[in-house]
A and B are shown apart, each in its own frame.
Chain A
Amino acid sequence: MLKTKNGIKLTLPAALLLLAGCASTDEFVFNGIDPWVKPYERSNLADPIMSMNRNPIARAYAKHVFESREGARGADGGAGGGCGCN
């Protein structure tokens, strides 16, 4: 549960939707920053070998194997990609 300055309480799903709504416009506060890696410099990042999830069916199974035999869980999604260049 999140609480705004005005005392409005938000559930997490509501917060997710709010984030989506706020961030969907070009007026977002961070958009004024000039990217230091230009779009035309992202070919290496767009290579499939740079994606942690380039084979989702195999990766999900590997996670399944580890989860079933280890006590730890979560945060192993492995963020990857990020250049917005499919």
Chain B
Amino acid sequence: MQLIRHNIRRMVPIAVVLWVSVCGIAHTAVLPQDRSDIMFHSYSGDGVSIDGPSILLRKKVGNHVSLSANYYVDTVSGASIDVRATASPYTEERKETTLGGDFLHDKTLLSASYTNSSENDFEANSAFISVSQDFFGDLTNMSLSYAKGWDEVGRRGDESFSEDADRQKYGFGLTQVLTKNMILGFSAEHISDQGYLNNPYRSVRFVDANAPKGFSYATEVYPNTRSSNAISLNANYYLQHRAAVYADVRWYTDTWGIDATNGKLGYIHTVGDDWVIDAFVRYYSQQKADFYQDLFSRREEFNFMARDKEMSTYTNLTAGVSVAYEWQFSAQSLIKKSSVSVEYDYMRFDYDDFRDATALAPVGEEPLFGFSANVLRIYASIWY
């Protein structure tokens, strides 16, 4: 019944590492602004609902140090296609806490943070450090980062089950001011994992003539190492009527055979001094892992076997729009600025080799799976 949590289980360690990257890396050698945000988030798709709050606090201490804290909660309920096929719906909660600090010296920004993510059968911890530096009259900024994560994997209903996984991430970033209206960015990241990397609740299916539906399920088996490399380019261009266009593209490959590419194009428009409207489209395309199959011919057919749909061949098209209203206050006020934002994303996933095993059809001829999801973020921010 916990299979749906693969979404959280598989991504949390990486998300933890990447979250601290987002919070920790500033792309210029200036301290982040003092601000606080409180957000309600909601995801609904494929029979799953995930929602909860997130709170971010950031405050300078003197002229050289900025401290931050983030508290985030996921409340998961429902039943995805994996759960519907092999188990029952469930409800659970994940809590994540991040504490970070930035230290500015001349044109160098040192950042560090620590994140803990906790749920009833999974514990993830991550430490992060980065340094960024301005060059060329502050037209170029370079950053290097390193993060290490430690996971403890459990399994509900099996107290004796306990596995570990370690994760490391090496990052490089370069930002370049090209003109007075354009900025380019380049990022590269290497991530390596070692340990228990699969989901104890996930299953592969294989042909079984003795089973009522013609197939049976068995636990997935993944390699215990994984290394990935990704590079990306992004650009922001300022338009004269206080608007901007932005775009990014990323290429990804890993030792499991997954290759992926995604691109995003967005436009930001302002109305007066108070309204900011942002709209984007994003397309993601992925080729499956070497050991992925929707249907295996027999149990233990190969050393490594996976049927995690996120490791299959598929595409994801996302379109999003956001509206923010800002209030500006005087520089002498305790609060300098505040805003309220609403962001909505529509996501569409279409799988090329993952079939709906709950459908009534001959084995291996079930319809290909696909689903849509709605993502909502509502948050208020203050700057002080």
Contact = CB atoms under 8 A, between A and B. Distances in A.
Given A57-B70, A69-B316, A47 B14 contact: no
B37 A71 contact: no
A31 B110 CA distance: 20
Contacts, number: 269
B234 A58 contact: no
A78 interface: yes
Contacts of A42: 177, 180
Nearest to B326: A48
A57 B54 contact: yes
A31 B187 CA distance: 23
Contacts of A67: 11, 14-15, 18
Contacts of B108: 20, 23-24
Contacts of B31: 86
B270 interface: yes
A76 B139 contact: no
A35 B136 contact: yes
B91 interface: no
A8 interface: no
A42 to B, nearest CB: 6
Contacts of B22: 53, 56, 59-60, 63, 77
Interface string A1-43: 0000000000011011101100111001011011111010110
A74 B180 CA distance: 29
Contacts of B242: 47, 49
B25 A77 contact: yes
Contacts of B185: 52, 78-80, 82
Contacts of A61: 39, 41, 54, 72, 377
Contact of A60 (B8, B23, B171, B248): B23
B37 A79 contact: no
Contacts of A55: 37, 324, 341, 379, 381
Contacts of A33: 136-137
A71 B289 contact: yes
Contacts of A63: 15, 18-19, 22
A74 B179 CA distance: 28
A16 to B, nearest CB: 5
Interface stretch (B126-134, B158-166, B196-204, B361-369): B126-134
A68 B10 contact: yes
B75 to A, nearest CB: 14
Interface in B340-360: 341, 343, 345, 347, 349
A38 to B, nearest CB: 8
B194 interface: no
A82 B146 contact: no
B234 A37 contact: no
A80 B175 contact: yes
Interface in B278-305: 284, 286, 289
Contacts of B381: 55, 57
B151 to A, nearest CB: 14
B105 A80 contact: no
A45 B180 contact: yes
Interface in B208-233: 228-232
Contact of A72 (B25, B230, B248, B379): B230
Nearest to B35: A56
Contact of B43 (A19, A65, A72): A65
Given A31-B135, A52-B236, A72 B180 contact: no
B182 to A, nearest CB: 8
Given A42-B180, A86-B28, A74 B246 contact: no
B384 interface: no
Those 9 A-B pairs whose CB atoms lie nearest each other, nearest first: A79-B185, A35-B137, A74-B189, A75-B230, A68-B11, A82-B175, A84-B138, A72-B252, A72-B260
Given A58-B322, A65-B43, 8 more contacts: A12-B146, A37-B177, A49-B238, A58-B39, A69-B347, A79-B184, A80-B236, A83-B183
25 contacts: A16-B130, A16-B144, A19-B133, A20-B131, A30-B135, A34-B137, A42-B177, A57-B56, A57-B379, A58-B322, A58-B343, A62-B377, A68-B11, A69-B310, A69-B349, A72-B252, A74-B229, A76-B232, A77-B18, A77-B171, A82-B27, A82-B140, A82-B141, A83-B177, A85-B30
